[in-house]
Copies of this chain bind each other. A is one copy, B any other.
Amino acid sequence: MELFTAIKERRAIKHFDNNAKIPETDFTQIMESVLLSPTSYNIQHWRFVRVKEAHLKQQIKEAAWGQQQIEDASELIVLCADTQAWSDRPERYWANADESTQNMLVPMLQDFYRDKPEMQRDEGMRSCGMAAQTLMLSAKALGYDTCPMVGFEHDAVAELVKLPKDHLVGMIIVMGKAAKTAHSRGGQLPLSEVLVDNTF
């Protein structure tokens, strides 16, 4: 699908066909595309939980105040991030680079994140956001719909997916076949209201 068409047609869908299945090849193509999204210093600190078990889905739905799309969509993905990925064998993020680049970048990225918990958290959210948009557009291009979600008890979902220490839950995306189209866009702000030249 043409990129601008995917951008226009991607909408947050709340009603999914609960019989639809996404073939594994499509799921893999979508996730492999997600992995081409950028991360700072290539730390690839995103972690994805694909929730398949019906009982676990049910529990996550309860932690999301009963939102039905969690149960009905074909796939439920919890986007997480390892806030300490920068210190976990960082040489692997630059394994293909030449030695001098490695010797420069690996200590640099560690200095960049060390002792900066707010930056570590912000980076997790930013990277989940970039990955999320790649996921939603890729799904759209293959004929699926998605719903990005932040409305859930983050601590409860963290416990349900057994989130490791030093990881965070960024958001949830459900994906499947729409059973009902989205309403018109709610009320879009014009570009002039959100774009300024040079300074605010």
Copies of the protein in its oligomer: 2
Task: Check A170/B36 contact, CB under 8 A, given A4-B141, A93-B187, A195-B50.
Answer: no
4 interchain residue pairs of minimum CB distance: A129-B129, A95-B187, A125-B125, A133-B133
The residue among A50, A138, A150 with the most chain B CB atoms within 10 A of its own CB is A150
Once the chains are docked, how many angstroms separate the CA of A150 from the CA of B113?
A: 11
Q: Is the CB of A28 within 8 A of B191?
A: yes
Q: Is the CB of B52 within 8 A of A197?
A: yes
Kindly provide the distance from the CB of A22 to the nearest chain B CB, expressed in whole angstroms: 14
Chain A to chain B contacts (Cβ below 8 Å), 13 pairs: A1-B2, A3-B6, A40-B150, A44-B194, A48-B196, A49-B200, A52-B197, A56-B198, A92-B187, A96-B184, A129-B132, A130-B133, A161-B199
Q: Is the CB of B161 within 8 A of A194?
A: no
Q: Is the CB of B195 within 8 A of A48?
A: yes
Please give, as numbers and ranges, the residues of chain B lying within 8 Å of A97 by CB-CB distance.
183, 186-187
Once the chains are docked, how many angstroms separate the CA of A200 from the CA of B164?
A: 7
Q: Is the CB of A200 within 8 A of B162?
A: yes
Please give, as numbers and ranges, the residues of chain B lying within 8 Å of A28 by CB-CB distance.
191
Please give, as numbers and ranges, the residues of chain B lying within 8 Å of A32 by CB-CB distance.
191
Please give, as numbers and ranges, the residues of chain B lying within 8 Å of A121 by CB-CB distance.
122
Please give, as numbers and ranges, the residues of chain B lying within 8 Å of A126 by CB-CB distance.
125-126, 128-129, 132, 150, 170-171
The answer, yes or no, to whether A156 is at the interface (CB within 8 Å) is no
The answer, yes or no, to whether A64 is at the interface (CB within 8 Å) is no
Q: Is the CB of B1 within 8 A of A50?
A: no
